[in-house]
Amino acid sequence: MQRTLFDEETLEPTELQSPAETTSSVLFGWDPTECVVAAEIAGGQLTLWRRRPDDTVERLTRQADPWLLLTNPQDAPKTAEVRRLEGEDFCYLAVLPRWDADRHARLDLQDRHAEHIAYSGPVRAALTISGVTLFKGMTMNDVRRMQVDIETAGLDPENPSDRILLVAVGDNRGLQTTIEGPEPEILRNFVALVRERDPDIIEGHNIHGFDLPYIAARCRLHGVSPALGRDGLELEAGIRRSFSVGGITRPIVPWHIPGRHVIDTFLAVQRFDWARGTLKSYGLKEVARELGIAAEDRIELPRARMAELYRTDRSRVVTYALQDIAETARLADLVTATEFYQTQMVPDSYASSALSGTGEKINAIFIRAYLHAGRAIPRPRPPRPYEGGYTSVARTGVIHRIVKADFESLYPSIMLAYKVKPQMDTLGVFLPALQELTRRRLEAKAKARSAESAQRQYWDGLQNSFKVLINSFYGYLGAPGFNFNDPDAAATVTRIGRDLVRQVANRLQQLGGSVIEIDTDGIYFVPPPEFEGEEAERRFVELLGSGLPDGIRLAFDGRYRTMVSVKTKNYVLLSYDGQKTFKGASLRSRADEPYGRKFLAQAVDLMMDGKTHQLRALYLATVRALQEHRIPIEDLGRRERISEKTFSSTARQRLATLAEGLAIGDHITVYERSNGELRRIEDYTPGDEDVRHYVDKLYKFAERLREAIGPAFDELIPRPIGGQIVETGQLDLFEDT
């Protein structure tokens, strides 16, 4: 008799037309078990750990066999049992007898270039086929979260003298302590404490890049077993994988603690800040200060002197480490909620989900639903170019009395209103899932508004996790490599979006308003003179959106006293309460030297205050300060991240020389010397900076404002020649009086 993976009744397409019940199982998995805090493959079965109401943990098991999807049954491993799924493409399900055979089967298929779908992570594969998801019915405070930070005598874990000085440990059940003493004792006591407190999640800032690999290396050195996992299993390095933030992807090696989840807030805060772009640095201390979660008496100590300070002022180092873990806990509260609540839907571990892209998560949810229904998985469609959203700048310069109108979730709303879905979604899960996510988000937002303290945080984290997935459905359609993608459908969405935005822009002008900038789903404009004040401006936005199709809503999204419009997606806004918002890399980029950022900020202030004519004086004064070496070297320093390209690119050889001994992911701040060399700012020799370079760079900073300043730019900002400003003797029409 052929074995089956499907013990539950399978879904039928007609059932999915009622989203409240059946779509819930599509989104959250059909297994109703709540409070599952971890999953591993052990003894050939899916092992689950479930947290009970009394905060203890019980161990459960589920049958979940390893599986592969194939387009040709002849490609199946000899030991596999094959089942034909309904549909085409990946329509053969090969069930393997043992999990230890899974990896060999995958490698063999890769070597033979056979088409297949297989997950390299056995937990994701097992959760997909079992219908179980983690953290169902739980808040972030229901799970036990531990924070870890180590202080070391150096940075090389293979150097015997670079010992661990202490381990600081805290958790959300009241623990806050440090472990000290001889290093082997520190390591054994740390392992014992983790097993005693039994956390579900271990959090740390750069824990993948520093703390855990360092602990593993020191355990090897002393012959201590790093048995930090449940069931006495050891800490281990995971498989090298990619971590994406926006359009940037970089490789990382995640560390794995069996039965627990490792969460790196250094990585999480980068995703958190991607759309906002407000953080200048992702170091723990800098992030904590900028997000307002640092202690008022925050201690800062130089890493290079940690061993010396531990000998001479131990209590200060201890306080420093405890503040680190307290900040890590508060930071995790802010930046990991979205990934935590998405794990309630995605068939994967929290640790893996925190590193995966949203498109990958959506794909995993759909594959789970199709396999449960006994349906084949389609091949991804090849990508093709298509026109994106409508963007334009109608006006640049300094503009007053600004209103922003925004289409609420424009692309998801279009997909729902116009029934745009992937052609290959034969089971009909795409739109019902999107509709259900939208319904649940609105419900969670309403509950967040009326809830208090911890409950508000729970509902807000939940609604934001829904929001991120909702907004990724369109990107999923157009992206390559996903099984239910459809570039034609994505093109339809953007075409409808462009038409709707143009419709509103035309209506705005007909009503006497003035468009400043349109960016896909938002419009900045000056309202007609008769709509003065916030209440009237809100009425005007309602008027603008009154003719839109059902399901498409235009909302009031802010009002501002002044705007400096530079170019598309680059502007500065001044609110009526005096707050400034910089948007776009032309005006604020972490790659810019501080002196350039300061110059741009001061220039924008002058422009907003109606003093554009004073830009020349500001510019010339900054040039003189550079020439006279009066700008601190810290303001001239450029922060560089060490990457693999640092050591492989011929264009970055100067930086590679300074980066010796540093790890991938570390940062270094450098400046340009007058002899053409790079040097670390801590090795600065007074007066040896390259003045010509920095004067020329200042002009490039100023040039970013050319469109906003207009025809007067060349008079206000004269181009330097050889690092000097050459006065022509012409009449200066912009001289301050």
pLDDT band at residue 244 under the 50/70/90 scheme: confident
pLDDT score, position 9: 36
Mean pLDDT of 65-81: 93
| CATH code of the domain containing 200 | 3.30.420.10
Question: Please, how many CA atoms are within 13 Å of residue 297, restricted to the half-sphere of its CB?
Answer: 4
Candidate from 42-51, 63-72, 95-104, 359-368 with smallest mean pLDDT: 95-104
Which of 216, 153, 149 lies closest to 187, judged by CA?
A: 216
680 and 649 in a common domain: yes
289 and 174 in a common domain: yes
Residue 103 lies in a domain: no
Q: Above 70 in pLDDT, residue 424? A: yes
Q: Above 70 in pLDDT, residue 670? A: yes
391 and 329 in a common domain: no
User: Who wins on pLDDT, 684 or 648?
Assistant: 684
Residue 359 lies in a domain: no
User: Phi first, then psi: what are they for 113, rounded to 5°?
Assistant: 55, 35
pLDDT score, position 664: 67
Alpha-carbon span 140 to 180, nearest angstrom: 30
Residue 121 lies in a domain: no
Mean pLDDT of 344-367: 95
Residue 367 lies in a domain: no
pLDDT score, position 730: 40
pLDDT band at residue 444 under the 50/70/90 scheme: confident
Number of domains in the chain: 3
Mean pLDDT of 245-259: 87
For residue 511, the enclosing domain spans 380-421+486-587
Residue 351 lies in a domain: no
pLDDT score, position 13: 33
pLDDT score, position 17: 40
Mean pLDDT of 2-28: 50
Mean pLDDT of 14-30: 64
583 and 598 in a common domain: no
Alpha-carbon span 18 to 466, nearest angstrom: 19
Candidate from 215-219, 497-501, 643-647 with smallest mean pLDDT: 643-647
Mean pLDDT of 705-727: 90
pLDDT score, position 2: 33
Q: Which amino acid is at 316?
A: R
Which of 535, 532, 537, 514 lies closest to 524, judged by CA?
A: 514
506 and 643 in a common domain: no
596 and 580 in a common domain: no
248 and 208 in a common domain: yes
687 and 568 in a common domain: no
Mean pLDDT of 52-63: 94
Mean pLDDT of 624-648: 88
602 and 575 in a common domain: no
Contacts 24+ apart (CB under 8 A), 575-581: 580/604
Residue 375 lies in a domain: no
pLDDT score, position 391: 92
Domain final residue, candidates 559, 587, 615: 587
- Name the maximum alpha-carbon separation found in the chain: 97
Q: Above 80 in pLDDT, residue 666? A: no
pLDDT score, position 727: 62
Candidate from 116-120, 344-348, 497-501 with smallest mean pLDDT: 116-120
279 and 239 in a common domain: yes
Mean pLDDT of 592-613: 95
Q: Above 50 in pLDDT, residue 737? A: no
582 and 690 in a common domain: no
Mean pLDDT of 218-233: 97
Candidate from 310-324, 540-554, 649-663 with smallest mean pLDDT: 649-663
573: left (phi over 0), alpha (psi -120 to 50) or beta: beta
Beta bridge partners of 640: 668
Candidate from 99-108, 406-415, 420-429, 540-549 with smallest mean pLDDT: 99-108
- Percent of the chain scoring above 90 in pLDDT: 72
pLDDT score, position 14: 34
pLDDT score, position 5: 44
Residue 478 lies in a domain: no
614 and 692 in a common domain: yes
pLDDT band at residue 20 under the 50/70/90 scheme: very low
Give the CA distances from residue 207 to residues 149, 212, 312, 449, in Å, rounded to whole numbers and listed in that order.
8, 6, 27, 34
| CATH code of the domain containing 398 | 3.90.1600.10
Q: What is the mean pLDDT of the chain?
A: 90
Residue 199 lies in a domain: yes
Tokens of 466: 């829904």
Tokens of 547: 């003719």
User: Who wins on pLDDT, 439 or 85?
Assistant: 85
Alpha-carbon span 282 to 294, nearest angstrom: 14
pLDDT score, position 665: 65
